[in-house]
């Protein structure tokens, strides 16, 4: 076998009684090393609002073939958020460093081991409708085979408020347009209006009842994906959707349920702070 460069150098220097300084990053063949990475970062609430507490969940993993020694993770506190009392348990010990970060210590990660770090945040002065970044960085205790994966981040959307409203009417001529002489579908026909949040771990949505003139309104949280669902008595279905003038058409595009009541739904839309979203519904008799 042909000797490698280090072996040849050692041999040559040995002949002349010299010494050799290996490069600082030289690793002996077969040596075990840890490889710590921020495996994933999530938040337990997608859209917290001013004054609310939420948590960032940080998964740290050792992908290497050697144990890590003590692990330190620094978690940033960006503008618009503030610290809270660190959570106990899970083997992590966290302290607040000034007002700008958490410093969290873990005794050791064995090769292949994964652990979750959870730290709390309070929304304090963040602008509704913006996203705020949170960053976690690992400071390794031992030399790693790869340090390019020691940092991870997640953004959290700050909730504001919006208005979702609409009108439900009976489309007598079935043309998908609300005409002046067509009657409203009041509370005897429309059992409830549901503003449905489409994302898990989201805070939002709501319910409304229709007035005698067929109108309804919900003030809701934002930075979410919604749809509107309208439950009506069994003799009604939906008229054709998105036909003609958008101001007077029907926005119900889906039938979720037909018995014993009928549940109709709109397309999805993203609600942002300060927005106003109109979802109208045209009904036709069935049979």
Q: Which of these CATH numbers, 1.10.10.60, 3.30.70.940, 3.40.50.300, 2.60.40.10, describes 161-285? A: 2.60.40.10
Instruction: Show the 3-state SS of 139-186.
Output: ECCCCCCCCCCCEEEEEEECCCEEEEEEEEEECCCCCCECCCCCCECC
Phi, psi values for residue 120, rounded to 5°: -90, 150
Confidence class for position 16, pLDDT limits 50, 70, 90: very low
- pLDDT at position 31, please? 80
**Cβ contacts of residue 127 below 8 Å, gap of 6+?**
80, 158
- pLDDT at position 99, please? 81
Q: Fold identical between 32-157 and 161-285? A: yes
Per-residue pLDDT, averaged over 229-245, amounts to 97
Confidence class for position 17, pLDDT limits 50, 70, 90: very low
Which is it for strands 131-139 and 71-76: parallel, antiparallel or unpaired? Answer: antiparallel
Q: How far is CA 260 from CA 37, 88, 256, 281, in A?
A: 53, 50, 12, 20
**Nearest Cα to Cα of residue 201 among 50, 39, 57, 75:** 57
- pLDDT at position 201, please? 76
Q: Per-residue pLDDT tens for 47-96?
A: 999 999 999 999 999 999 999 999 999 999 999 999 999 998 889 999 99
Per-residue pLDDT, averaged over 257-278, amounts to 97
145: pLDDT strictly greater than 90: no
Which is it for strands 161-170 and 281-285: parallel, antiparallel or unpaired? Answer: parallel
Confidence class for position 30, pLDDT limits 50, 70, 90: low
| Residues 210, 191: Cα–Cα separation, whole Å | 8
**Nearest Cα to Cα of residue 121 among 55, 199, 215:** 55
In this predicted structure, which of 87-91, 125-129, 233-237 has the lowest mean pLDDT? 87-91
Delimit the domains of the chain by residue range.
32-157, 161-285
* DSSP for residue 8: H
Element spanning 10, H or E: helix 5-16
**Nearest Cα to Cα of residue 129 among 274, 268, 269:** 274
- pLDDT at position 140, please? 86
Q: How far is CA 267 from CA 49, 155, 245, 254, 283, in A?
A: 26, 26, 17, 8, 16
Cβ(142)–Cβ(254) below 8 Å? no
**Cβ contacts of residue 250 below 8 Å, gap of 6+?**
171, 176, 178, 238, 239, 240, 241, 242, 243, 280, 281, 282
User: For the chain, how long is the longest CA-to-CA vector?
Assistant: 108
**Token reading at 255:** 């039938």
Phi, psi values for residue 90, rounded to 5°: 65, 10
**Burial status of residue 123 (CB atoms within 10 A of its CB: 0-12, 13-18, 19 or more):** buried
168: pLDDT strictly greater than 80: yes
Q: Per-residue pLDDT tens for 207-216?
A: 999 999 999 9
Bridge partners (DSSP) listed for residue 282: 169
- pLDDT at position 69, please? 93
Which class in CATH covers the domain with range 32-157? mainly beta
Confidence class for position 7, pLDDT limits 50, 70, 90: very low
């Amino acid at each position: 076998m042909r000797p490698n460069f280090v072996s040849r150098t050692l041999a040559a220097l040995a002949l002349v009684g010299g010494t050799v300084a290996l490069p600082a990053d030289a690793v002996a063949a077969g040596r075990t090393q840890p490889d710590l990475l921020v495996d994933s970062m999530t938040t337990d609430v997608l859209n917290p609002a001013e004054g609310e507490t939420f948590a960032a969940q940080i998964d740290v993993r050792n992908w290497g073939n050697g144990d890590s020694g003590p692990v330190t993770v620094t978690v940033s506190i960006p503008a618009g958020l503030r610290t809270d009392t660190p959570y106990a348990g899970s083997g992590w010990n966290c302290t607040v460093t000034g007002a700008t970060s958490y410093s969290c210590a873990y005794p050791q990660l064995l090769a292949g081991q994964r652990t979750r770090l959870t730290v709390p945040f309070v929304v304090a002065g963040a602008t509704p409708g913006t996203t705020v970044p949170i960053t976690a960085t690992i400071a390794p205790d031992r030399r790693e085979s790869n340090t390019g994966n020691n940092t991870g981040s997640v953004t959290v959307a700050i909730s504001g408020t919006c208005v979702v409203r609409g009108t439900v009417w009976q489309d007598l001529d079935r043309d998908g347009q609300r005409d002046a002489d067509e009657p409203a579908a009041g509370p005897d026909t429309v059992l409830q209006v549901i503003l449905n949040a489409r994302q898990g771990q989201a805070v939002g949505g709501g319910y409304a009842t229709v007035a005698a003139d067929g109108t309804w309104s919900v003030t809701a949280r934002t930075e979410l994906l919604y749809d509107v669902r309208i439950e009506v008595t069994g003799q009604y279905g939906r008229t054709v959707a998105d036909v003609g003038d958008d101001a007077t058409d029907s926005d119900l595009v889906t039938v979720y349920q037909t018995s014993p009541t009928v549940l109709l739904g709109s397309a999805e839309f993203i609600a942002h702070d300060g927005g106003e979203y109109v979802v109208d519904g045209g009904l036709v008799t069935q049979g």
